[in-house]
């Protein structure tokens, strides 16, 4: 069930599901730390007011003299109106296919050595001010082909004028995509006994790449993560009065000794000690008679 206080953009604007969506947004009330999930990448051309953005790792304040660039993901977003005025911005949403097609066409290959970050902003120079004006002139057209061309235009300009920022933006956008896919695959198959090699194959990654992205998401190695899952499953089975000798194969261990040693490392107790401490051991033997 989705939290009603969470805004999913651009979906909540009900503007369709095109690869590119341009939305003229305005608000006559300030807002504080809205929970926003961006389903697409976004450029925000702020016209009136101030925007404050908080991700898991960064915090930025953006004025109408700057353009905000965000990749898909979750942020806390505050909007403050200009004095005696509205909050206004032109929002450009585009998916990673648009970004990848552009990079391929322009032969802009990703630099793996570029540092990643989650919030990007650039100064709104004369070209970008005129670009905003051109979008306003086309506002009533709502032409999909024209929207695609305008995104190509701003991507071309930023990649040429601000190549370092653009490289970081592309890296973050593509990393987010890989991590979302990896997380979905891991959580759908976490109890199916797959090996690290098999998970890497399903994610279309080498083993080393899979391990690196896995650590970025879960802050631990795949081996430790799956061992923790097994141990929590073991606890649940022991709570159901099952004997250790009945469950070690189910958990993927070759013998009882290997399972017992791993469980003791994790919990500080052997499986029998764990059941005894929790008043389960006597009941286990009672049920087996």
Q: What are phi and psi of 107, to 5 degrees?
A: 55, 45
Are the C-beta atoms of 19 and 98 separated by less than 8 Å? Answer: yes
Residue-wise pLDDT for 139-167, tens only, equals 877 788 999 999 999 999 999 999 999 99
> By percentage, how much of the chain surpasses pLDDT 90?
45
Q: Where residue 225 falls among pLDDT bands split at 50, 70, 90?
A: very high
Tell me what the mean pLDDT of segment 36-47 comes to: 93
Question: Cis (ω within 30 of 0) for the bond into 74?
Answer: no
- The two tokens of residue 289 are 């008679």
* pTM score over 0.85: no
Q: How far apart are CA 132 and CA 167, in angstroms?
A: 23
Q: Where residue 4 falls among pLDDT bands split at 50, 70, 90?
A: low
Residue-wise pLDDT for 63-108, tens only, equals 999 999 999 888 999 999 987 788 999 999 999 889 988 988 888 8
Give whole-number Cα distances, 286 to 100, 252, 280, 282, 289, in Å: 63, 27, 10, 6, 6
């Amino acid at each position: 069930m989705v939290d009603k206080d969470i805004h999913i953009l651009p979906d909540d604007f009900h503007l369709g599901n095109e690869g590119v969506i341009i939305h003229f947004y305005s608000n006559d009330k300030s807002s504080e730390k809205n929970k926003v999930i961006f389903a697409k990448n976004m450029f925000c051309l702020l016209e009136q007011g101030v925007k404050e953005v908080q991700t898991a790792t960064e915090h930025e304040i953006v004025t109408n003299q700057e353009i905000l660039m965000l990749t898909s993901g979750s942020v806390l977003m505050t909007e403050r109106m200009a004095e005696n005025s509205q909050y206004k911005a032109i929002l450009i949403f585009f998916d990673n296919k648009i970004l990848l097609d552009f990079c391929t066409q322009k032969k802009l290959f990703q630099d793996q050595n570029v540092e990643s970050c989650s919030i990007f902003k650039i100064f709104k120079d004369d070209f970008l001010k005129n670009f905003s004006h051109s979008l306003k002139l086309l506002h009533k057209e709502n032409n999909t082909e024209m929207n695609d061309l305008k995104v190509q235009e701003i991507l071309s300009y930023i990649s040429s004028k601000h190549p370092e920022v653009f490289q970081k933006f592309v890296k973050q956008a593509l990393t987010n995509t890989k991590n979302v896919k990896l997380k979905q695959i891991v959580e759908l198959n976490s109890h199916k006994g797959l090996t690290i090699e098999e998970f890497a194959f399903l994610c279309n990654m080498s083993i080393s790449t899979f391990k690196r992205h896995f650590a970025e998401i879960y802050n631990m190695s795949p081996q430790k993560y799956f061992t923790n899952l097994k141990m929590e499953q073991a606890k649940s089975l022991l709570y159901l009065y099952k004997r250790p000798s009945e469950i070690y194969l189910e958990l993927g261990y070759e013998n009882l000794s290997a399972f017992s040693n791993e469980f003791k490392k994790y919990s500080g107790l052997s499986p029998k000690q764990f059941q005894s401490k929790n008043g389960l051991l006597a009941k286990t033997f009672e049920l087996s008679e």
